[in-house]
């Protein structure tokens, strides 16, 4: 492939699908060491991630690129490191979300509700939906470049995982950790199902506090009580006061009359009641309030439910029966007012419990549900993190995790939904329970054939909690499970630490005896360009598909990775993605340049030195060759260290800067010069190739598409060139190439770095002068250089300096010291080096003085600072090397200052 055939602009649109198809068809996403295949070697270390399964009916949102970018980076990095790498993909049945979606669709197309359709048909319908649209999200995940082993794709409701769910339920049940019973739970009236504590969100809202009278039976006296939910008065079974409260002590043990209903209920004493809050008296509604429920238990109070499943007042609500909870609130208050029981109302800010899904107000209600007893599970989960079996990144989330598990409550796992894993419990007419791994045909206790299965399904998170091992075949001891479990990293958002991560840990330990992963990496949430939470109502939704269409997948991925740090939220907007699109294009064009350089090599003229021989030829390298190679070694070390410590953003940033600033802006420009010379040409191309190849390898986990594409072209170009040996052990695709390792010892050729930095400074100063003096870039300048002890270096590098700074080589004089100061020249001073640019006639040199004075002033301020520093305790207490470095700097500035002073005389 020659330059003409490669377009100037990287065409990600046609490249990405082609590259992905190539990877997938090539089997590159599969672990190279597969326990199901002959030749399996158990001693090879696996690296495993199970994907946080997206909702099967979901569509790509901006959160997906975040986790895919990170997990794919982790996966690709380890694959390139030689691990037998497996990223298990899959989807979640997402009970409520999916059911709602299908219900909505059903209503629209068929105008029937799910109840009208019936359970069996509805579930069938949902499966249809899943088959039809389930691949939408996985294809979108593919588009992000995810290198998952799609042959191992799983679904939480598929046969194997359903078996796992049933096994897990039964084991917990047999252990006595699962129980069923009426408890106060959070009820979602719209969805008509119980939800767990975690699914309730509390929002601060303006509400009204209603003050009213609880009349003492047979008396004109009353106890004032306040409530936010007057309709719950219907379910009151006591009024509680503090035992020490002088105001109400006399009423303890007496009866009060429930407004409107006229029931008599006791006045009780309980220390829970705070005397200095509200009226100091508390109405007790055990059926609809968690605290009241607890108090009722202490005092053996009856429990009255007044709401039905739709949150309408039930038969216990007397005349209000059938009213909606909020209508009842108004009506009962009006009636109480009429009865003279009302004291006052006042505005009040309080926390309102709302359903995480849909946002409706959730009601605490008594209901028959299934629970998992969490205490022992939580303890094991705590220990695993405490003893270091599991590490959480960033560490601060460990505290959050501990805090939650330390205060854990039993988990309500039953949901009154149809889409999900049905609870594997059957009842006979005598209400014997049969709990079974296989669907039973008769009651285990009485043999009755008339058994019916529990109507409820399990909380979606119950099956997700098994994900790291259920996807690998558990409860079967499959080869996959034996080799790939426990998995390595669990990467997900901090927002589901409790929902998912904690439960996977607890269930993993419970069922497999092992922590399901050794590291939890938590990423932050994606916010919009100015840091607002993304929501449909704000209208700031960012569609990743649009971003990919416009800027390419690599650009989006790089944006996600760079500038974000573990556990912190990230702002994303099109501008960032655009600048990273430019980066992809930069890589493309750097590639074009290198390929072009290879194509320029003349087969006849070049010896076929092999790679090893070239490696030994450092002595023949130019300063620039050594410099870029030395910087590359540092880069490799830094990137390795950063990836190991999960600083992916930093790693990406460093590679970016190396490619753009060091390689493209400096080395490539120098290479253009070096390639003009037959003697340095081949070596230059070899350096270009080796450095650029390393860059592509380093970058591949970040921006897989463009690196793979360019690398392919590069490889082809090399293989057809006289330096083909360089690529002779390269694999077919970059995705399976080895990740770079340092090739030289630390600190290799450090002196070259300093030498090159001096050249850079000189070149910059000359360019600066040109800019300041408004000298046309095309104008070649003459220069006299007094180089002092750098004379040999500058003489050797004169061609390079001339080329980079736009000097005329034939008018470039470099001497140790000039015999006399050139007239009519602008002077530049860098340390001991003085450069004179004759500018007579072109510019007015009279006004050159301020420039030099400014520089002198600057140098002097440095001298002052450094002298102060070096005369302080710093000189005695700081590491010697550091002190020496500062001394050297001081000498440099002194040189500069002194020379500038002479200039100014």
Partner RNA sequence: GGGCGCUUAGCUCAGUUGGUUAGAGCACUUCGUUUACACCGAAGGGGUCGGGGGUUCGAGUCCCUCAGCGCCCACCA
Rounded Cα distance, 165 and 157, in Å: 9
Contacts of 346 (CB under 8 A, 6+ apart): 208, 209, 211
- CA-based max dimension of the chain: 121
- Residue for token pair 């800010």: 349
Binder of RNA out of 225, 623, 781, 799 (CB under 7 A): 225
Asked if 579 is part of the footprint of RNA (rule: CB under 7 A), the reply reads: yes
Shortest Å distance, C-beta 451 to RNA: 37
Please state the closest distance from residue 660 (CB atom) to RNA, in A: 6
154 or 329, CB closer to RNA? 329
Minimum distance of RNA from residue 388's CB (angstroms): 17
Indicate which single residue of 122, 401, 485, 498 sits in contact with RNA (rule: CB under 7 A). Answer: 498
- Please enumerate in sequence order all residues whose Cβ is within 8 A of that of 804, keeping only pairs 6 or more positions apart, or say none: 669, 670, 673, 759, 763
Listed ranges 76-84, 221-229, 249-257, 687-695: which one lies at the site for RNA (CB under 7 A): 221-229
Among 593, 791, 803, 891, binds RNA (CB under 7 A): 593
From the centroid of its chain, how far is CA 727? Answer: 35
Lookup result for tokens 């598409």: 705
3 state SS of 17: helix
* DSSP SS3 for 535: coil
Written in H, E and C, the secondary structure of 505-532 is HHHHHHHHCCCCEEEEEEECCEECCCCC
| Interface residue with RNA, options 30, 283, 681, 697 (CB under 7 A) | 283
| 10 DSSP 8-state letter | -
Name which of residues 608 to 667 contact RNA (CB under 7 A): 645-647, 649-650, 653, 656-657, 660, 664-665
Residue number with CB closer to RNA (173 or 212): 212
Q: How far is the CB of 59 from RNA (least distance, A)?
A: 23
Among residues 404 and 748, whose Cβ is nearest to RNA? 404
Phi, psi of 223 (to 5 degrees): -110, 125
Please list every residue from 117 through 146 that binds RNA, using CB under 7 A: none
Nearer to RNA, 290 or 754 (CB): 290
The nearer residue to RNA, 431 or 774, going by C-beta atoms, is 774
Q: Which is nearer to RNA, 394 or 440 (CB)?
A: 394
**Does residue 880 bind RNA (CB under 7 A)?**
no
- Measure Cα distances from 448 to 64, 427, 531 in Å: 50, 9, 62
Vertex 722, ends 721 and 724: CA angle to 5°?
65
Given the rule CB under 7 A, which of 110-118, 423-431, 515-523, 583-591 is the region that contacts RNA? Answer: 583-591
Distance of CA 507 to the CA centre of its chain: 24
Query: What residues numbered 718-757 form the site for RNA, per CB under 7 A?
Result: none
**Residue 329 or 592: which CB sits closer to RNA?**
592
Give bridge partners of residue 815 from the DSSP assignment.
Answer: 786
Pick between residue 139 and residue 872 the one whose CB is nearest to RNA: 872
Q: Which is nearer to RNA, 139 or 350 (CB)?
A: 350
Is 108 a binder of RNA (CB under 7 A)? no
The encoded tokens of residue 616 equal 């030994």
Interface of this chain with RNA, residues 848 to 877, rule: CB under 7 A: 862, 865-866, 869, 872-874, 877
Choice from 63, 224, 278, 712 touching RNA (CB under 7 A): 278
Q: What is the DSSP letter of 811?
A: E
For RNA, which residue of 198, 303, 382, 830 counts as binding (CB under 7 A)?
A: 198
From candidates 64, 288, 329, 576, binder to RNA by CB under 7 A: 576
> Does residue 581 belong to the site contacting RNA (CB under 7 A)?
yes
Least distance to RNA from the beta carbon of 652, Å? Answer: 9
- Count CA atoms within 13 Å of residue 329 on its CB side: 14
Q: Which of 31/65 has CB closer to RNA?
A: 65
The interface region with RNA, picked from 24-32, 195-203, 420-428, 609-617 by CB under 7 A, is 195-203
Residue in 44, 107, 124, 228 binding RNA, rule: CB under 7 A: 228
How many Å from the N-terminal Cα to the C-terminal Cα in the chain? 61
Q: Which long-range contacts (CB under 8 A, 24 or more apart) does 882-889 make?
A: 889/862
User: Of residues 243-272, which lie at the interface with RNA (CB under 7 A)?
Assistant: 272
Q: Which of 14, 441, 535, 568 binds RNA (CB under 7 A)?
A: 568
Q: Residue 391 or 889: which CB sits closer to RNA?
A: 889
Question: Out of 154, 422, 592, 713, which residue is the one contacting RNA (CB under 7 A)?
Answer: 592
Q: How far apart are CA 498 and CA 635, in angstroms?
A: 38
Do the beta carbons of residue 353 and residue 202 sit within 8 Å? yes
Closest distance to RNA from the beta carbon of 395 (Å): 9
Backbone phi and psi for residue 209, each to the nearest 5 degrees, phi listed first? -100, 120
The answer for 841, left when phi > 0, alpha when psi is -120 to 50, beta otherwise, is: left
Q: Are 511 and 48 in contact (CB under 8 A)?
A: no
CB 53 within 8 A of CB 467: yes
What residues contact 51, with CB distance under 8 A and at least 6 apart?
A: 67, 71, 87, 88, 89, 90, 141, 146, 148
Distances (CA, A) of 50 to 87, 88, 476: 6, 5, 18
604 binds RNA (CB under 7 A): no
Q: How far is CA 844 from CA 540, 849, 889, 901, in A?
A: 56, 11, 33, 20
Task: Name which of 171 and 865 has its Cβ closer to RNA.
Answer: 865
Beta bridge partners of 521: 393, 491
**Residue 282 engages RNA in binding (rule: CB under 7 A):** yes
Give the residue, chosen from 97, 400, 791, 890, that forms a contact with RNA under the rule CB under 7 A.
400
Out of 191, 296, 590, 793, point to the residue binding RNA (CB under 7 A): 590
Residues that bind RNA (rule: CB under 7 A) add up to a total of 98
With CB under 7 A as the contact rule, the residue among 297, 575, 605, 728 that binds RNA is 575
C-alpha–C-alpha distance, residues 717 and 695, integer Å: 17
| 229 forms part of the interface with RNA (CB under 7 A) | yes
Nearest-approach distance from CB 164 to RNA, in angstroms: 27
CB closer to RNA, 125 vs 576: 576
Which is nearer to RNA, 52 or 591 (by Cβ)?
591
39 binds RNA (CB under 7 A): no
Considering only 264, 678, 772, 808, the residue that binds RNA (CB under 7 A) is: 772
Query: Would you call 110 helix, strand, or coil by DSSP?
Result: coil
CB of 653 to RNA, least distance (A): 6
Rounded least distance, CB 488 to RNA, Å: 19
Contacts of 457 (CB under 8 A, 6+ apart): 95, 414, 415, 417, 418, 419, 420, 421, 422, 423
Which two tokens mark 323?
Answer: 């009213």
Q: Classify residue 113 as exposed, middle or buried by CB count within 10 Å of its CB (0-12, 13-18, 19+).
A: exposed
CB distance 328 to 317 below 8 Å: yes
Q: Are 805 and 760 in contact (CB under 8 A)?
A: no
> Does 672 sit near RNA (CB under 7 A)?
yes
State the Cα–Cα distance between residues 671 and 685, nearest whole angstrom.
8
Does residue 350 bind RNA (CB under 7 A)? yes
Of 411 and 426, nearer to RNA (C-beta) is: 411
Q: Among 563, 712, 742, 838, indicate the residue that binds RNA (CB under 7 A).
A: 563
State yes or no: residue 202 binds RNA (CB under 7 A). yes
Task: Give the range of 116-124, 398-406, 432-440, 732-740 binding RNA by CB under 7 A.
Answer: 398-406
| 18 near RNA (CB under 7 A) | no
Q: Which is nearer to RNA, 430 or 529 (CB)?
A: 529
User: Interface residues for RNA in 427-486 (CB under 7 A)?
Assistant: none
Smallest distance, RNA to C-beta of residue 902, A: 20
Q: Is residue 282 within 8 Å of residue 240, measured between CB atoms? A: yes
* 538 lies in the site for RNA, by CB under 7 A: no
């Amino acid at each position: 492939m020659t330059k003409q055939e490669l377009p100037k602009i990287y065409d990600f649109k046609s490249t990405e699908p082609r590259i992905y198809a190539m990877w997938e068809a090539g089997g590159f996403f599969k672990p190279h060491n597969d326990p199901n295949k002959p030749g399996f070697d158990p001693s090879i270390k696996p690296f495993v991630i199970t994907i946080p399964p997206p909702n099967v009916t979901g569509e790509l949102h901006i959160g997906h690129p975040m986790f895919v970018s990170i997990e794919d980076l982790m996966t690709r990095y380890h694959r390139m490191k030689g691990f037998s790498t497996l990223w298990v993909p899959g989807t979640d049945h997402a009970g409520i979300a999916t059911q709602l979606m299908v219900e909505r669709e059903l209503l629209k197309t068929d105008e029937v509700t799910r109840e009208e359709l019936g359970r069996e048909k509805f579930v069938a319908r949902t499966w249809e939906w899943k088959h039809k649209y389930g691949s939408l999200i996985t294809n979108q995940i593919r588009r992000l470049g995810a290198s998952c082993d799609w042959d191992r794709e799983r679904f939480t409701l598929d046969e194997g995982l359903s078996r796992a769910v049933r096994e897990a339920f039964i084991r917990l049940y047999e252990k006595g950790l699962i129980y069923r019973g009426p408890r106060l739970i959070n009820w979602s009236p719209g969805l008509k199902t119980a939800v767990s504590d975690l699914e309730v969100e509390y929002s601060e809202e303006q509400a009204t506090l209603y003050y009213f009278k609880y009349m003492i039976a047979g008396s004109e006296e009353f106890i004032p009580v306040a409530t936010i939910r007057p309709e719950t008065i219907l379910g009151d079974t006591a009024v509680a006061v503090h035992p020490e409260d002088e105001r109400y002590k006399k009423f303890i043990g007496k009866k009060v009359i429930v407004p409107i209903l006229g029931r008599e209920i006791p006045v009780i004493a309980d220390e829970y009641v705070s005397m200095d809050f509200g009226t100091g008296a508390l109405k007790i509604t055990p059926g609809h309030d968690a605290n009241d429920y607890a108090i009722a238990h202490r005092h053996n109070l009856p429990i009255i439910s007044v709401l039905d499943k739709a949150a309408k007042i039930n038969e216990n609500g007397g005349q209000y029966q059938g009213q909606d909870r909020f209508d009842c609130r108004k009506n009962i208050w009006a009636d109480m007012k009429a009865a003279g029981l009302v004291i006052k109302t006042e505005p009040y800010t309080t926390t309102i419990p709302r359903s995480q899904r849909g946002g409706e107000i959730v009601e605490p209600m008594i209901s028959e549900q299934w629970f998992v007893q969490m205490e022992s599970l939580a303890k094991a989960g705590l220990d695993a993190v405490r003893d270091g079996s599991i590490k959480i990144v960033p560490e601060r989330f460990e505290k959050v995790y501990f805090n939650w598990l330390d205060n854990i409550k039993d988990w309500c796992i039953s949901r009154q939904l149809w889409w999900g894993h049905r609870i594997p419990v059957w009842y006979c007419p005598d209400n014997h329970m049969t709990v079974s791994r296989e669907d039973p045909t008769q009651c285990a206790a009485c043999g009755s054939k008339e058994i019916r299965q529990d109507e409820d399904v399990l909380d979606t998170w119950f099956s997700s909690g098994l994900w790291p091992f259920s996807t690998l075949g558990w409860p079967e001891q499959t080869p996959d499970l034996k080799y790939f479990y426990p998995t390595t990293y669990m990467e997900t958002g901090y927002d589901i630490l409790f929902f998912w991560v904690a439960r996977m840990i607890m269930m993993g330990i419970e069922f497999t005896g092992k922590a399901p992963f050794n590291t939890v990496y938590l990423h932050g949430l994606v916010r919009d360009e100015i840091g607002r939470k993304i929501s449909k109502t704000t209208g700031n939704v960012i569609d990743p598909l649009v971003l990919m269409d416009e800027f390419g997948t690599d650009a989006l991925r790089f944006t996600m990775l760079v500038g974000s740090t573990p556990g912190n939220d990230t702002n994303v907007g099109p501008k960032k993605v655009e600048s990273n699109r430019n980066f992809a294009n930069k890589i493309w064009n750097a590639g074009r340049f290198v390929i072009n350089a290879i194509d320029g090599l003349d087969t006849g003229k070049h010896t076929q030195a092999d790679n090893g021989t070239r490696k030994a030829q450092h002595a023949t390298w130019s300063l620039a060759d050594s410099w870029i190679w030395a910087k590359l070694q540092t880069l490799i070390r830094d990137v390795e260290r950063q990836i190991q410590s999960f600083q992916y953003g930093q790693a990406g940033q460093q590679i970016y800067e190396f490619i753009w600033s060091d390689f493209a802006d400096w080395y490539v420009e120098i290479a253009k010069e070096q390639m003009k010379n037959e003697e340095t040409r081949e070596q230059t191309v070899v350096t270009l190739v080796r450095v650029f190849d390393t860059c592509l390898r380093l970058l591949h986990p970040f921006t897989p598409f463009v690196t793979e594409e360019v690398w392919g072209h590069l490889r082809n170009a090399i293989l057809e060139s006289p330096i083909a040996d360089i690529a002779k052990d390269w694999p077919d695709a970059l995705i399976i190439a080895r990740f770079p390792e340092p090739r030289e010892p630390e600190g290799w050729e450090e002196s070259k770095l300093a030498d090159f930095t001096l050249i850079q400074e000189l070149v910059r100063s000359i360019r600066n002068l040109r800019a300041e003096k408004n000298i046309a870039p095309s104008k070649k300048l003459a220069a006299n250089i007094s180089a002092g002890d750098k004379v040999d270096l500058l003489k050797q590098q004169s061609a390079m300096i001339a080329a980079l700074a736009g000097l005329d080589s034939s008018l470039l004089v470099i001497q140790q010291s000039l015999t006399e100061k050139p007239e009519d020249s602008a002077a530049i001073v860098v340390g001991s080096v003085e450069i004179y640019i004759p500018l007579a006639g072109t510019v007015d040199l009279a006004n050159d003085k301020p420039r030099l004075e400014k520089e002198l002033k600057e140098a002097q301020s440095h001298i002052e600072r450094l002298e102060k520093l070096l005369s302080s305790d710093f000189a005695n207490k700081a590491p010697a090397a550091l002190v020496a470095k500062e001394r050297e700097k001081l000498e440099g500035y002194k040189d500069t200052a002194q020379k500038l002073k002479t200039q100014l005389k």
